[in-house]
Structure 1
């Protein structure tokens, strides 16, 4: 099932995307659950199975191309980001550091992300807006010290992200990337959340192919099978030091090929388009504009 947040008839809504004779249409779930105002609340209330039942029987509403996408989770919980995780990423760094024994983790704010089809914003303070295509995991069942062997059972589903970065601002202080990772509207998440019944198990996740295209040019291309710290390990590790809750988000890492690693660097400029795609999840499209 594909769950999304969208704008239609002067209101932000949430619903499920269903295929009707080859055309994607939306089942509006906005007023189906008492006290549930958005997709974030649906996850917190543990109502994904009920939403699936409604989506399978309700009359579809508008065509998907008639709505405006919003950030998939309007009120995500904590947003964890895993750095330098795909095969070959350590080679992008010039300090010759050894492979880390534990993942690099940093935090982002919800305000730094827009939805599918919306603009990534380059601020006037920097021309170094970069892209990072990622598979994004969303927690559906909370827990503390989650065993790795059952970690995937705690997922609501997967979506896609562009973990946009202002490169020169991640270097303002030693061991600190917060400033460069949290500019308003610098990244994206979407287009929808694909629930785990349509994803499969860890083997299916590791077989996925993640690509990022800028203006149609392939820049990133890899599979989660090359991750130093696979998704099930990430969930187990993060839940060791804090209780994961429904609606928490994990950006699982980006492959080689970000703009900063070209010589000279190839940062995003107004008018550029970025597509992050994974078969089985979808494609996240965004354009770039100046603030």
Structure 2
């Protein structure tokens, strides 16, 4: 996929010359969709970045962007099983718009940040809350195996246009839990890209989880964590849906 991203302009020229043969169409239900990005070099995620999430957490609006990393072992398919770790009973969901970097960049200017996005997909920043909160560093609680389902595919940036106007929702067993819009981002996607690039050289295929809205299980009274057999669906307008069955980790 990184090769495709690197040479996208060339591929698009070829694709535009193709003639669609209706008889050779493949139905989506007849294929298995895998994660659209496998083995990214970097996975960044920003915390506390929706105004409605700040309200439900009863905390002050952050003055600085709060960043952490997820590890590549978290990458999972859009309809694959997510493992509930045996070491915790506090697994939670977080629907997020994920930006996929399309160009090498460092010290990216704010007004040019949009040029560095190849496309977008849906991500679930699955979080193990007790491990997340053990220390001020969230990385371990965000990095359990299978805890970053992505998909259902990449929608290129030209198809999305402005990403700050998209409805974003999550459901647990059909019950809506999160229902917001990307216009409620505190730090928008261009600010995120520009800020990260002051420190890190961004590369094609890098993933940026741009924040989750209010409605997470952790913030409910009492909290509603994910249980064995639960199905979590995440939707974003103009991109689609991912849906994952959560199963207890098999220790055998």
SS in 2 for 1:289: strand
Rounded to whole Å, the distance in 2 between the matches of 1:119 and 1:208 is 26
When normalised by structure 1's length, the TM-score is: 0.80
Corresponding residue of 1:159: 121
CA drift at 1:61: 5.3
Which segment drifts farther, 216-225 or 229-238?
216-225
CA contact (8 A) 2:54 2:214 kept: no
> In the alignment, which of 92, 104, 115 is matched to residue 56 of structure 2?
92
CA drift at 1:270: 1.7
Q: Which runs of 5+ in 1 are unaligned?
A: 1-38
> In the alignment, which of 188, 192, 196 is matched to residue 153 of structure 2?
192
SS in 1 for 2:146: coil
- Cα offsets for 1:4-44 (capped at 9, x unmatched): xxxxxxxxxxxxxxxxxxxxxxxxxxxxxxxxxxx13322x
CA drift at 1:52: 3.0
> In the alignment, which of 189, 194, 219 is matched to residue 177 of structure 2?
219
CA drift at 1:93: 3.3
Verify: 1:137 aligned to 2:106, yes or no: no
SS in 1 for 2:104: coil
Rounded to whole Å, the distance in 2 between the matches of 1:54 and 1:69 is 23
Verify: 1:52 aligned to 2:12, yes or no: yes
Rounded to whole Å, the distance in 1 between the matches of 2:89 and 2:34 is 26
When normalised by structure 2's length, the TM-score is: 0.92
CA drift at 1:172: 1.7
CA contact (8 A) 1:120 1:289 kept: yes
CA contact (8 A) 1:40 1:74 kept: no
Corresponding residue of 2:109: 147
Higher RCO (CA 8 Å, separation ≥ 6 residues)? 2
- Cα offsets for 1:174-217 (capped at 9, x unmatched): x11111100001231111010112111xxx31111001111111
CA RMSD of aligned residues (A): 1.5
- Cα offsets for 1:39-88 (capped at 9, x unmatched): 13322xx2223333444416555322111121110121210001000013
Verify: 1:125 aligned to 2:83, yes or no: no
Rounded to whole Å, the distance in 2 between the matches of 1:196 and 1:49 is 13
CA drift at 1:167: 0.8
SS in 1 for 2:87: coil
Corresponding residue of 1:83: 47
Rounded to whole Å, the distance in 1 between the matches of 2:12 and 2:25 is 16
CA contact (8 A) 2:74 2:148 kept: yes
CA drift at 1:89: 2.2
Equivalenced residue count is 245
Corresponding residue of 2:144: 183
Rounded to whole Å, the distance in 1 between the matches of 2:87 and 2:175 is 27
Which segment drifts farther, 269-278 or 254-263?
269-278
- Cα offsets for 1:131-160 (capped at 9, x unmatched): 000000000012111111110111000100
Which segment drifts farther, 63-72 or 101-110?
63-72
